[in-house]
Structure 1
């Protein structure tokens, strides 16, 4: 944690102001890394996924954990595998939004015309997805039938890393468990599915519990961000030295109240 704070802020100034809280934060940060069920490489790849997911997009955390993953033995290809695997997370919203549209249209006596001739193509796409991913989510049915061209592109994206990526299937299931169990995106259907898949592939409950710990410690990103805002060494001076970093970065004149 001290190294992380030092990357973004004046560590000495932060420690002087933080009354010893850095020791507690550092111990919490280190807790998931004390267990030996997942490798450090795997833990860092999971943190890359959590940081880069559409519900986070934490640039500095992605950079930090990508560098640490490489140091722990990950390859650039494996990190790209992670990044490709998590792209489709944004489509979880469609599992809710499309049924809402369908309900509203039905209440108005309207509907969306479905091309019945596309059934054979749909069934082929469904089987290809099951072969690549090992499951079928019924929520995907509406996407495939109502917006078939979009679904075909999504299906190709959703299976690409599973068909050809360098991570193992079990490792990719760990990535999916991570992104489906964060405070910003707790997606129970996906979480249950990927836990079952991981267990079928030989994962242990202890490994999955370490993933959950990693998602919990992500809350410390607020602490790290605060250190940067308050004590960034690279920011210009302002009448309030403690706030100069954040105010200057936001383009705010600290004398303007």
Structure 2
């Protein structure tokens, strides 16, 4: 497939391996063999420790979608009275404030922020560190985020739409975004990686019994 790449200083770094690291390391996938393979390939193509570590950190924070899904349902079922006292909380939330200032706050986070602003701010400290670190450009962050949310082990539609919109605003082309989606599809080969060796083993056993 074509390489999706982005300029950084005097070198051009292929993003495809970092996208592959993202798909494999996502907390919804945790493909150990794939992570090792694509980290090795990313290093070979010029990615550095900080870039790969940032991708890994992004793979951990996507677990916030558990709250994106569950918190609105909790509020609906428990009633708005259950969050009234929390909404009036004066607990400082500097990390959340930083995310909002960077334009990276997602309104889908409002329900669990209302339920537990202090915990949300602790969680967002990691997210703010990734978005504000300067390791990746805004465009690169959005392309990687698309890979996490559109991956076949997650398929989180609200996040995919949000990050596609943001990627376009950040200067990504339709072709670049489509390349990320194509990389996601390519990882369907994991079905063969898992099942074909097992099939071969079972067929060998049958042959041995013949």
> Into which bin does the TM-score normalised by the smaller protein fall?
0.7 to 0.9
The root-mean-square deviation of aligned C-alpha atoms, in Å, is: 2.6
Distance 2:57 2:29 in 1: 15
Q: Which moved more, 1:221-230 or 1:164-173?
A: 221-230
Distance 1:201 1:139 in 2: 21
Distance 1:189 1:98 in 2: 15
Name the CA shift for 1:175/1:96 in 2 (closer, same or farther; >3 Å): same
Q: Is the 8 A contact 1:55 1:185 kept in 2?
A: yes
Aligned equivalent of 1:150, options 116, 119, 139: 119
Does residue 1:118 correspond to 2:89, yes or no?
yes
Distance 2:114 2:48 in 1: 38
Which has the larger Rg?
1
Name the CA shift for 1:116/1:180 in 2 (closer, same or farther; >3 Å): closer
Residue 67 of structure 1: how far off its partner (Å): 0.5
Q: Is the 8 A contact 1:38 1:210 kept in 2?
A: no
Name the CA shift for 1:144/1:75 in 2 (closer, same or farther; >3 Å): same
Match of 2:101 in 1: 131
Q: Is the 8 A contact 1:81 1:161 kept in 2?
A: yes
Name the CA shift for 1:214/1:226 in 2 (closer, same or farther; >3 Å): same
TM-score by length of 2: 0.83
Match of 2:9 in 1: none
Distance 2:52 2:4 in 1: 20
Aligned equivalent of 1:242, options 200, 204, 207: 204
Q: What pairs up with 1:16-165 in 2 under 5 angstroms?
A: 33=1, 35-38=2-5, 41-106=14-79, 111-112=82-83, 114-119=85-90, 121=92, 125-132=95-102, 134-165=103-134
Q: Which moved more, 1:221-230 or 1:113-122?
A: 113-122
Number of residue pairs matched?
Answer: 201
Q: Is the 8 A contact 1:45 1:69 kept in 2?
A: yes
Distance 2:107 2:134 in 1: 25
Superposition misfits of 4+ residues, deviation over 6 angstroms: none
Residue 90 of structure 1: how far off its partner (Å): 1.0
Question: Mind listing any 5+ residue stretches in structure 2 that lack a counterpart?
Answer: 7-12
